[in-house]
């Protein structure tokens, strides 16, 4: 079985400050991890993914995420937040124990960037 | 333009009246999936399909049916909708399973009274 936890319902950060959105996961096998962003009244958009290799993954719009196997975490980060980054962020996992067929999402974290 | 389309975008219906939400993708993707999004629960997978005529249950399949007769289409069927199926529904597709990211449709907001 696989699961994802996003412990913060909302994260507030001042524009220009670094931001972190947390994600931890639990899997039986080897995970593939994803971050998606949802703007109001829109579908989800892919930001970045971890497959294997370098633990620091870079994605769209200046976002990056760090895979930490010992802490089973995949936190999303950005060095300098923009007001336009305000949105709902979802972490998701697939693992090979089920043939990577199922996808499990976290409950989402609302990011509010304050001007 | 590569996209996933869903119809209708908004639907209000009554308990027990059968409905279908269509989903179509133009990217020749093999994997397609349906999710429902509810406040505080995030996205939960309803059904997925690995390819034509290959479908399987996700985490919350009760009350839903799907079919995959053509590669591009993956309709979601509610044969007897109930109020607890009021939700925001998303269709998604990807090249395959595993490392492939998903492309999402714009969503269908369903209200069952």
DSSP assignments along B25-74, one per residue: ESS--SEEEEEEEETTTEEEEEEEEEETTEEEE-S--TT-EE--SSTTB-
For chain B, list residues whose CB is within 8 angstroms of any CB belonging to chain A: 4, 33, 35, 40-45, 48, 50, 56, 58-59, 90, 92, 97-99, 101-107
Beta-carbon separation of B42 and A34 below 8 A: no
**Measured between CB atoms, which of B4, B48, B99 is closest to A32?**
B99
Distance between CA atoms of B110 and B113, rounded to whole angstroms? 10
Q: Which tokens belong to A10?
A: 């909302």
Instruction: Tell me: pLDDT of A97 over 80.
Output: no
Interface test with B, best of A1, A101, A107 (most B CBs within 10 A): A101
Cα-to-chain-centroid distance, residue B101: 16
From chain A, the residues in CB contact with B106 under 8 A are: 42-43
From chain B, the residues in CB contact with A104 under 8 A are: 45, 59
Distance between CA atoms of A1 and A102, rounded to whole angstroms? 10
From chain A, the residues in CB contact with B61 under 8 A are: none
Distance between CA atoms of B10 and A108, rounded to whole angstroms? 23
Q: What is the pLDDT of residue A65?
A: 98
Q: For the purposes of burial, counting CB atoms within 10 Å of the CB of A31, is it exposed (0-12), middle (13-18) or buried (19 or more)? A: buried
Instruction: Tell me: pLDDT of B33 over 90.
Output: yes
CA distance A15 to chain B (A): 26
- Which residue in the block uniquely carries the two structure tokens 């001007």? A115
pLDDT (tens digit per residue) in B53-84? 999 999 999 999 999 999 999 999 999 999 99
pLDDT band at A27 (very low <50, low <70, confident <90, very high): confident
């Amino acid at each position: 079985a696989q699961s994802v936890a996003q412990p913060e319902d909302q994260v507030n950060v001042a524009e220009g400050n670094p931001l972190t959105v947390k994600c931890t996961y639990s899997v039986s096998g080897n995970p593939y991890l994803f971050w998606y962003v949802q703007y109001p009244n829109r579908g989800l958009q892919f930001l970045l993914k971890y497959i294997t290799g370098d633990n620091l993954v870079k994605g769209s719009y200046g976002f990056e995420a760090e895979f930490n196997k010992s802490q089973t975490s995949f936190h999303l980060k950005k060095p300098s937040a923009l007001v336009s980054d305000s949105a709902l962020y979802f972490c998701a996992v697939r693992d090979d124990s089920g043939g990577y067929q199922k996808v499990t999402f976290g409950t989402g974290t609302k990011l509010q960037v304050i001007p | 333009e590569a996209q996933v389309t869903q119809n209708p975008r908004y639907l209000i219906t009554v308990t027990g009246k059968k409905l279908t939400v269509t989903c179509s993708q133009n990217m020749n993707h093999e994997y397609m999936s349906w999710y429902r999004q509810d406040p505080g629960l995030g996205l939960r997978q309803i059904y997925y399909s690995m390819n034509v005529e290959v479908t399987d249950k996700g985490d919350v399949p009760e009350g839903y049916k799907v079919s995959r007769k053509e590669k591009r289409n993956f309709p979601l069927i509610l044969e007897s909708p109930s109020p607890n199926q009021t939700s925001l529904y998303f269709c998604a597709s990807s090249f395959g399973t595993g490392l492939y990211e998903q492309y999402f449709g714009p969503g269908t907001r369903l209200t069952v009274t």
